[in-house]
Amino acid sequence: MISSEELFWNEKFNEEQRQIQLYYENLNYIADRPCNVYKPRLSIDGNQWCALFGDDLQGGVAGFGDSPQKAFEDFDRNWAKSIDS
């Protein structure tokens, strides 16, 4: 028997996978975008999507948004920023 907590996390994981698939299906693919070149990990962080390249937020580059697309767009902007920005 699956507990309500397991069911919650399974549904959350399945929704995350659907969002990722939808993003790639609808992506206007541009090969040289940083998110396409470096392929950051996409996950849910709180109430937003997070695209993270690196081990953590302090040592990596991240982008956040209400959708995977917005997280990747923010990642692309952040990739171009200097460390003192």
What residue spans define the domains of the chain?
4-79
Cα–Cα distance list, 53 to 1, 37, 63, 76 (Å): 37, 11, 9, 11
Cross-strand pairs, 42: 51
- Judge whether residue 23 has pLDDT over 70: yes
Banded model confidence at residue 12, pLDDT cuts 50, 70, 90: confident
Banded model confidence at residue 27, pLDDT cuts 50, 70, 90: low
Supply 51's token pair.
């695209």
Q: What is the pTM of this model?
A: 0.65
Q: Is 44 helix (H, G, I), strand (E, B) or coil?
A: strand
